[in-house]
Amino acid sequence: MNNCCIIVAGGNGSRMGSNIPKQFLLLKGIPVLMHTIRNLFNFDRSLRLILVLPADEVIGWYDLCRQYNFEIPHQIIEGGDTRFQSVKNGLGLTGGCELIGVHDGVRPLVSHATLWRCYNCAATEGTAIPVIPAGESLRCGNMGKSVPVDRTQFFMVQTPQVFKASIILDSYNQAWIPEFTDDASVVEHYGTSVNLVTGNRENIKITFPEDILIAELFLNTP
């Protein structure tokens, strides 16, 4: 089966307290994004990898690849002003793919078991998004007034989110609205329900400085 994965890497370093985009920050000596690409490549070397980068970071990425002798095959396309447009640009390179995954470039620790569940479920059911149960008590409201909610009814959403090609391609032909927070919300708005699969807790999205330290601990754990 000819499958692919769009890797969206459009973040900046503002919440990291850095002027370096977070996907380029070093994790155990190499950029986070290289860990992510290598992990996907090691999961399935036939998986077509499509990297979406901001236009002004493409040359810098090529420089990093030369600096770190990074030679894993991947295609590169420039992103847009929104995540929606960036994914849509990436979809333009997916011709011939049967299953299309969309993954955050700063999630280097998705397990191969999670990847298998996502692609396997999408192959049989059409859609798959990895989730983990909410692990702490939750409240709904604001700092002035809030009420407890049943945490067993809530899940933390991860990536990659994987879809049959026809489903995600058709869904991304609709106009963008602010409610589109991820690919699942785009697909659902178009009228297709999504299937949940079990993710892995190590599959964190590197956003804050402490996330680099946590990721290093996970990578150092046998």
Q: At 52, which CATH number?
A: 3.90.550.10
Residue type, 197: V
Q: Is 29 exposed, middle or buried (0-12, 13-18, 19+ CB in 10 A)?
A: exposed
Distance CA 129, CA 155 (A): 11
How far is 42 from 50, CA to CA, in rounded Å? Answer: 15
pLDDT of amino acid 126: 98
Q: What is the pLDDT of residue 11?
A: 57
d(CA 59, CA 71): 16
What is the Cα–Cα distance from 177 to 36, expressed in whole angstroms? 29
* CA angle (34, 37, 38) in 5-degree steps: 80
User: Which of 196, 206, 199 is closest to 15 using CA atoms?
Assistant: 206
Residue 13: predicted pLDDT: 44
Dump strand ranges (E) for the chain: 3-8, 26-27, 30-31, 48-53, 75-78, 99-104, 127-133, 138-141, 146-149, 155-157, 161-164, 196-198
What pLDDT does 174 receive? Answer: 97
Handedness of CA 42, 47, 48, 51 (dihedral sign): negative
Digit-by-digit pLDDT tens for the chain (222 residues) are 799 999 999 754 444 455 778 899 999 999 999 999 999 999 999 999 999 999 999 999 999 999 999 999 999 999 999 999 999 999 999 999 999 999 999 999 999 999 999 999 999 999 999 999 998 999 999 999 999 999 999 999 999 999 999 999 999 999 999 999 999 999 999 999 999 999 999 999 998 889 999 999 999 876
Q: Evaluate whether 87 touches 9 at the Cβ level (below 8 Å).
A: no
**Total of domains in the chain:** 1
Which residue range forms the structural domain that includes residue 203? 3-220
Q: Which two tokens stand for residue 11?
A: 């973040």
How far is residue 35's CA from residue 193's CA, in Å, rounded to a whole number? 31
For residue 1, what pLDDT is reported?
Answer: 73
What is the pLDDT, as a whole number, of residue 14? 46
